Structure 1
Amino acid sequence: MSERQMPPTHPFDFDAAEGDTLHEECGVFGVVGVTDAANFVALGLHALQHRGQEAGGIVSYAPDEGFNSARRFGYVRDNFTRASLMETLPGSLAIGHVRYSTAGSKGAAIRDVQPFFGEFSMGGAAIAHNGNITNAEALRRELIDRGSIFQSSSDSECIIHLMARSLQRDIPARMEDALRRVEGAFSVVAMTRTKLIGVRDPLGVRPLVLGKVGDGWVLSSETCALDIIGAEYVREIEPGEMVVITEKGVESIRPFRPQRSRFCIFEHVYFSRPDSIIGGRSVYETRRQIGVELAREAPVDADLVCPVPDSGTPAAIGFAHESGIPYGMGIIRNQYMGRTFIEPTEQIRNMGVRLKLNVNRALIRGKRVILVDDSVVRGTTSRKIKEMILDAGAAEVHFRIASPPTSWPCFYGVDTPQREKLLAATMSEDEMRDHLGVDSLKFVSLDGLYRAVGEASGRKADCPQYCDACFSGEYPVEPSDMIEKGFQLKTAAE
């Protein structure tokens, strides 16, 4: 496989500097049976850019050219829109990946950027992985002891090495072998010379959908990426399912023991784009309904409901509609504020939020304002936004949060701070209110969140319908690597 790349650049990310955002995990996309498949993948990755802005990569295959790849740091639009680059990725079969690192080094070398490629006795294969392998370090030690040589710091590379050691005779079977050894969360899109492959872990923690475009087929993390290429949504890949797609059609395989689905509930709250469909439900409508639940659970006498853009907007609309309090754009986002701006001097770091958000002073002045946001992580950004609102002349500031308190780290593909750095892990709701310096602070309840996603009876305590470990501390897959490092699971007293 030829590798064409440029020297890495590392854009400065204000969200990372603030340390107050849960970063999207990754996005995967693949297509087979279309002319210039890599161009379709580039468009799909552009639609999935919200899932990872650190880096992206594409691998393609053409019979006369073999496998070719391009991996770059930065936005898809800044790299994979240049004809000179896309011409190096010919063929009717391609996969791609956008990344925000959750395992391995942050700002790592280009070798950490997916898709990863391996050459096997029966031919080459490339894989792109969304999620996180919770036993990756144990697997890595075992594989290194047995002679494997790793090229990256990514947990996903374990899959390639496990495939290499499998005795199965074809690549899909080797992938089955490898993924049976893996614990945690994974949605994988892979390719051989003739096949496009998609797999979800037995719990279905991370999303993956199947689409049809002309005579070809598409795999994507979200439905919004199907829309951008004019593909028809067919269905979700089911938890524990593997699909192998060739020119003959789609073959479905069940390589894992059936388990009850535990899809990540935070996909509904924040990660997925609002124009995507999850489980047959509009993400936008679910977020609007979270706002409705918030208004019912935590009403407050105020003059204006204002979203923290952009992730708080649907919930703010729902809150305003249910409460009867007027909705207003009290905070305006600078739409042209990219992740690469100027060197991160101390003065620029201190500007932080103000470079991205500005208060609509004429609307805010003298008002009792309800600010609706998707989550509170460390609280640093929330405090700065509150100060901006008060500086603009607001009479009162009330926070309403469209998720329960985030008090536990995620080990399934989301970049979460250590538990002691999560505000909700060390403070009560009243203490958080005082720490943020707001007139009131309320979070939607876990039951309210479940009702918003369509579970009318709320959360079943003995059998949760989703993975909600970041709120409940109940991990559906034991994070064995982190426990080995000293992480303490939730106790009965908690």
Structure 2
Amino acid sequence: MVSEVKSLNEECGVFGIWGDAQAAELTYFGLHALQHRGQEGAGIVANEQGHLSGEKGLGLLTEVFDHPDKLAHLTGNAAIGHVRYATAGSAGIENIQPLLFNFNQQQVALAHNGNLTNAVSLRATLEAAGAIFHANSDTEVLMHLIQRQTAATFEQRLKASLRQIKGGFAYLVLTNDALYAALDPNGFRPLALGQLATGAYVVASETCALDTVNARFIRDVQPGELIKIDDHGYHVKSYTTDTQLAVCSMEFIYFARPDSTIYGVNVHQARERMGQLLAKEQPVDADIVVGVPNSSLSAANGYAAASGIPYEMGLIKNQYSQRTFIQPTQRLREQGVRMKLSAVTAVVKGKKVALVDDSLVRGTTSNYIVRLLKEAGATAVHLLIASPPLRYPCFYGIDIENTRELLAANLTLPQMQAQIGADSLHFLSVAGLIAAINLKSSAPYSGLCVAYFNGDYPTPLYDYAATFELPQVMA
């Protein structure tokens, strides 16, 4: 969706609950808080006294559950839900999650956030052994692995299967008698555990979803952990000890909601610090600071506070505009963005603008915004990016799988500035990003994955290794 105001997308959000009679309704509210993580499809599977049933469809959560009956029939005291953006597999209904499997002895529902780096080779091996896949996303691989394990219990088979898959994953698995939450050995994707006043337990991709259903935060799911939740409470176990925290830095830069907290770090405050350090590293001569709505506003506020330059609302986002799909002509594409974003002429006219954005991917939107501000009368626009240049692809759940679409991977800084049309272009350093997020971890890069900026991947690339492309511009 190149016509979106933003051009990065993350795979999805997951939400699960065990022990509340309104499980499906609470899952709906939790997913609503996670809608920013995926808009292509949504689904909920509920557990009614050991029987699983589900509802899912294409579109936003409110479009899928557009009639009360669609939610009313999902009764029971446990449920899992999913909102999807496709990074692996097509956007067809067959890939909308949770995936529900009906076996002779058991039903299993599966929801996944992330991207497996060895899914292609695993799928080939499984198909050669007779497995039949109904979808073409990487999520279904785990279920086939579980069914081929020989261990006595489902939990043992699940643990063995989790040790076989590689990459970034946060799984929710709902069975007839339990809810499981599993995180990959690097913790690329966040996953939080909470509890309602009723005693029910909740698991969600972000703490903002816990807040929405009024759940008390208990703990983050840690890398390599498998948490089992049933009628006896929650039980923390590990399926591997070979772990190293490398949470995706883009969660803090762009993906997560500002009211979420990840491994003890509030996202809004981290973004404010990014802006503050950007002001120290990259001062500019400007009259006002303007942030690109909405995920850049925290960083813009931080830049203004540290620089002493007044913060102004120079750009307005239409909060009621619908998703703008790819249009057949450039004129219509630009019109789609114009419907979403407007310049406040009275604020920017005659002013030198320090324009703060969270990231720079393809540059198309930045070029448009710079032109928008100059058409509104800005005498200069200095573009300041509150993250380092994106030069390397991501293989853990973000839709950047090659360097061809990354502006910073193919152009020098002066070339990028010229293409965007800004009077100057500046980025936060990798060291500044790490300091701003300030995770309390002794792991490399303070427990962050910054591979998109420096090419230092925390894991082998497996299926992607043969097609990995180096950026044309390395620094």
Question: Where on the TM-score scale, by shorter chain, does this alignment land: which range?
Answer: over 0.9
Distance 2:383 2:373 in 1: 12
1:160 matched to 2:143? The reply is: yes
CA contact (8 A) 2:263 2:439 kept: no
Equivalent residue, structure 2, for 1:353: 337
Instruction: Tell me if the contact between 1:129 and 1:188 (Cα under 8 Å) persists in the aligned partners.
Output: yes
The alignment status of 1:116 with 2:99, answered yes or no, reads yes
Displacement, 1:85? 0.5
Aligned equivalent of 1:43, options 17, 23, 29: 29
1:176 aligns with 2:159: yes
AA in 2 matched with 1:207: P
Using the TM superposition, give the Cα deviation of residue 488 of structure 1 relative to its aligned residue in structure 2, in angstroms.
Answer: 3.8
**Structure 2: 5+ residue runs without aligned partners?**
none
AA partner of residue 71 (structure 2): M
Contact 1:407 1:419 (8 Å CA) reproduced: yes
Cα distance, 1:391 vs structure 2: 0.5
Report the RMSD for the aligned CA atoms in angstroms.
2.0
Q: How far is 1:428 from its partner? A: 1.8
Distance 2:442 2:304 in 1: 25
List aligned pairs for 1:142-161, cutoff 5 A.
142-161=125-144
One-letter identity of the residue aligned with 1:29 = F
Deviation at 1:62, TM superposition (A): 0.5
Greater Cα shift, 74-83 or 217-226: 74-83
Give the residue type in structure 2 aligned to 1:210: L
1:114 & 1:253 partners in 2: Cα distance? 25
Instruction: Give yes or no for contact 2:248–2:449 (8 Å, CA) kept in 1.
Output: yes
User: 2:355 maps to what in 1?
Assistant: 371
Q: Determine if contact 1:447/1:459 at 8 Å carries over to the other structure.
A: no
Find the counterpart in structure 1 of residue 60 from structure 2.
75
Is 1:25 paired with 2:22?
no
* Contact 1:122–1:170 (8 Å) recurs in 2: no
Task: Name the CA distance, whole Å, in 2 between partners of 1:121 and 1:234.
Answer: 36
Report which stretch shifted further, 365-374 or 111-120: 111-120
Aligned residue for 2:73, secondary structure, equals coil
Work out whether residues 20 and 376 of structure 1, in 8 Å CA contact, stay in contact via their aligned partners in 2. no
Corresponding letter in the other structure for 1:195: A
2:43 matches 1:61: no
Give the deviation of 1:340 after TM superposition: 6.2
Structure 1 counterpart of 2:308, one-letter code: G
CA 1:436–1:204 in structure 2 vs 1: closer, same or farther (change >3 Å)? same
Contact kept in structure 1, 2:383 and 2:424, CA below 8 Å: yes
Question: 1:326 aligns to what?
Answer: 310
Query: Equivalent residue of 1:53, what SS?
Result: coil
**Contact 1:243-1:252 within 8 A present in 2 as well:** yes
> Structure 1 CA distance, aligned partners of 2:235 and 2:158?
15
Query: Which residue, out of 331, 337, 343, partners 2:321?
Result: 337
Partner of 1:476: 458
1:376-455 equivalence runs, <5 A = 376-416=360-400, 418-454=402-438
Q: Please list the CA deviations of residues 372-422 of structure 1 after superposition, one character each: whole Å capped at 9, or x if unmatched.
A: 001110101000111111101111000000110011111100111520221
Partner of 2:78: 93
82-91 or 226-235, larger mean C-alpha shift: 82-91
In structure 2, do the counterparts of structure 1 residues 420 and 283 end up closer, same or farther at CA, with 3 Å as the change threshold?
same
CA 459–17 in structure 1, closer or farther in 2 if over 3 Å, else same: farther
Inter-partner Cα distance in structure 2 for 1:480 and 1:384: 38
C-alpha contact 2:14 2:172 (8 A) present in aligned 1: yes
Alignment of 1:182-221 (within 5 A): 182-213=165-196, 214-221=198-205
Match of 1:5 in 2: none
Equivalent-residue separation in structure 2 for 1:327 and 1:350 (angstroms): 27
Query: Are 1:487 and 2:471 an aligned pair?
Result: no
Query: Which of 437-446 and 350-359 deviates more?
Result: 350-359
Letter in 2 for 1:72: G
Per the alignment, do residues 172 and 19 of structure 1 end up closer, same or farther by CA in structure 2, a change over 3 Å counting?
farther
Shift of 1:430: 2.1
Which whole-Å CA distance do the structure 2 matches of 1:77 and 1:48 have between them? 13
Provide the identity percentage. Answer: 43
Tell me the SS of whatever aligns to 1:421: coil
In the TM superposition, residue 140 of structure 1 has moved relative to its aligned partner by 0.5
Deviation string 1:89-139 (CA, Å, 9 cap, x unpaired) is 11101001110000012xx22111111122345411111010100000000
Alpha-carbon separation, structure 1, partners of 2:55 and 2:40: 15
Aligned residues of 2:88 and 2:138 also touching (Cα < 8 A): yes
Measure the CA separation in 2 of the matches of 1:163 and 1:130. 18
Amino acid of the structure 2 residue aligned with 1:281:
V
Q: Distance in 2 between matches of 1:155 and 1:406?
A: 25
SS in 1 for 2:269: helix
Report which stretch shifted further, 413-422 or 84-93: 413-422
Q: 8 Å contact 1:473–1:490 — kept in the other structure?
A: no
Answer whether contact 1:307 1:331 (CA < 8 A) is retained.
yes
* One-letter amino acid matched to 2:46: S
**Which segment drifts farther, 119-128 or 236-245?**
119-128
**Change over 3 Å in CA distance of 1:350–1:242 after alignment to 2:** same
Number of aligned residue pairs: give it. 472
Q: Deviations over 1:189-230 (max 9, x none)?
A: 111112111011111111100000122100000000011111
Q: Distance in 2 between matches of 1:296 and 1:63?
A: 58
What is the match of residue 253 of structure 1?
237
Q: What is the rounded CA distance, in whole Å, between the counterparts of 2:410 and 2:5 in structure 1?
A: 17
Q: Tell me the residue number matched to 1:141.
A: 124
Distance 2:442 2:239 in 1: 29
CA contact (8 A) 2:97 2:110 kept: yes
Q: In 2, distance between residues paired with 1:165 and 1:489? A: 38
8 Å CA contact retained: 2:438, 2:446:
no
Measure, in 2, the Cα distance between the counterparts of 1:227 and 1:55: 23
Q: Secondary structure at the match of 2:431?
A: helix
Instruction: Report which stretch shifted further, 83-92 or 344-353.
Output: 344-353
SS at match of 2:258: coil
Which residue matches 1:302?
286
SS at match of 2:384: strand
Distance 1:363 1:371 in 2: 13
1:80 partner letter: F
Change (3 A) 1:161 1:465: same
